[in-house]
A and B are shown apart, each in its own frame.
Chain A
Amino acid sequence: MLGEGILKGMAETARNFFGSFVFAERLTTVQYPEERIAPFEAARVFPFLVYDGADWAAGLRCVSCQICEKECPPKCIFIEKSKDKKPDALGKQQFYPTRFDIDISVCMSCQICVEVCPFDAIKMNTVFELATTDRFGGLLLDRQQLAHSNEYYHQIHPTEATSVDEIRAVEKAKADAKAKAAVEAASKAAEAKAKAAEQGAQS
Chain B
Amino acid sequence: MIQNLDQIFVLFQHWLVGFLPAAWRPMGAIFLSVLAIVSIFPALFALTTVFERKGLGRIQNRIGPNRVGPFGLLQPVADGIKSLTKEDIVPTSADGVVHFLAPIVQVLAVFMGFAVLPMGRNMVLTDMDAGLLFYFSMGASTELSVFMAGWSSRNKYSLLGAMRAVAQMISYEVTLLLSAVPVVMIAGSLSLTKIVAAQNSYSHGLPHWYIFTPWGLAGFVLYAIATTAESNRSPFDLPEGESELVAGYHTEYSGFKFALFFLGEYLAMFSISGMGATLFFGGWAAPFPFLEWIPSWIWFFSKLMLSIFVFIWLRGTLPRLRQDQLMNFAWKFILPLCLLNLLVTALWRYLGEGWERWVFCSLILAVAYVLMGRGGMRGMHVGPRRYRYAE
Residues of A within 8 A of B (CB): 1-3, 6, 9-10, 12-14, 16-17, 19-21, 26-29, 31
Q: Is the CB of A2 within 8 A of B61?
A: no
* B374 contacts the other chain (CB 8 A): yes
Q: Is the CB of A16 within 8 A of B63?
A: no
In the assembly, what is the distance between CA of A2 and CA of B382, in Å?
A: 14
In the assembly, what is the distance between CA of A68 and CA of B275, in Å?
A: 69
With a CB–CB cut-off of 8 A, which chain B residues contact A12? 317
Could you say which of B59, B369, B377 contacts A17, with CB atoms under 8 Å apart?
B59
With a CB–CB cut-off of 8 A, which chain A residues contact B182? none
Q: Is the CB of B314 within 8 A of A31?
A: no
Going nearest first, the 5 A-B pairs with the smallest beta carbon separation are A2-B373, A1-B377, A13-B317, A9-B317, A13-B59
With a CB–CB cut-off of 8 A, which chain A residues contact B316? 13, 17
With a CB–CB cut-off of 8 A, which chain B residues contact A9? 317-318
Could you say which of B58, B374, B376 contacts A21, with CB atoms under 8 Å apart?
B58
- Give the residues from 360 to 391 in chain B that come closer than 8 angstroms, CB to CB, to chain A: 369-370, 373-374, 376-377, 382
* B349 contacts the other chain (CB 8 A): no
Could you say which of B60, B62, B318, B373 contacts A1, with CB atoms under 8 Å apart?
B373
Q: Is the CB of B317 within 8 A of A1?
A: no
Q: Is the CB of B61 within 8 A of A10?
A: no
Q: Is the CB of B59 within 8 A of A16?
A: yes
Q: Is the CB of B313 within 8 A of A13?
A: yes
- Give the residues from 53 to 99 in chain B that come closer than 8 angstroms, CB to CB, to chain A: 55, 58-63
With a CB–CB cut-off of 8 A, which chain B residues contact A28? 61
In the assembly, what is the distance between CA of A13 and CA of B382, in Å?
A: 23
Could you say which of A1, A14, A20, A31 contacts B61, with CB atoms under 8 Å apart?
A20
Most A CB within 10 A of own CB, among B59, B60, B314: B59
Q: What would 30 A/B residue contacts be, using CB atoms closer than 8 Å? A: A1-B373, A1-B374, A1-B376, A1-B377, A1-B382, A2-B370, A2-B374, A6-B317, A6-B318, A9-B317, A9-B318, A10-B314, A10-B317, A13-B59, A13-B313, A13-B317, A14-B313, A16-B61, A17-B55, A17-B59, A17-B313, A17-B316, A20-B58, A26-B61, A27-B61, A27-B62, A27-B63, A28-B61, A29-B62, A31-B63
- Give the residues from 326 to 371 in chain B that come closer than 8 angstroms, CB to CB, to chain A: 369-370
Majority DSSP secondary structure for residues of A touching B: helix
A-B contact count (CB 8 A): 45
With a CB–CB cut-off of 8 A, which chain A residues contact B318? 6, 9
Residues of B within 8 A of A (CB): 55, 58-63, 313-314, 316-318, 369-370, 373-374, 376-377, 382
Given contacts A2-B369, A2-B373, contact A16 B313 (CB under 8 A): no
With a CB–CB cut-off of 8 A, which chain A residues contact B314? 10
A192 to chain B, nearest CB (A): 81
A64 to chain B, nearest CB (A): 46
With a CB–CB cut-off of 8 A, which chain A residues contact B374? 1-2
In the assembly, what is the distance between CA of A27 and CA of B382, in Å?
A: 35
With a CB–CB cut-off of 8 A, which chain A residues contact B58? 16-17, 20-21
Most B CB within 10 A of own CB, among A19, A20, A27: A20
In the assembly, what is the distance between CA of A13 and CA of B377, in Å?
A: 26
Given contacts A13-B313, A16-B61, 7 further A-B contacts (CB under 8 A): A1-B374, A3-B373, A12-B317, A17-B316, A20-B62, A21-B58, A27-B62
In the assembly, what is the distance between CA of A21 and CA of B63, in Å?
A: 9
The residue of chain B having its C-beta at the shortest distance from the C-beta of A9 within the complex is: B317
B301 to chain A, nearest CB (A): 22
In the assembly, what is the distance between CA of A6 and CA of B62, in Å?
A: 22
With a CB–CB cut-off of 8 A, which chain B residues contact A6? 317-318
With a CB–CB cut-off of 8 A, which chain A residues contact B61? 16, 19-20, 26-28
The residue of chain B having its C-beta at the shortest distance from the C-beta of A15 within the complex is: B59
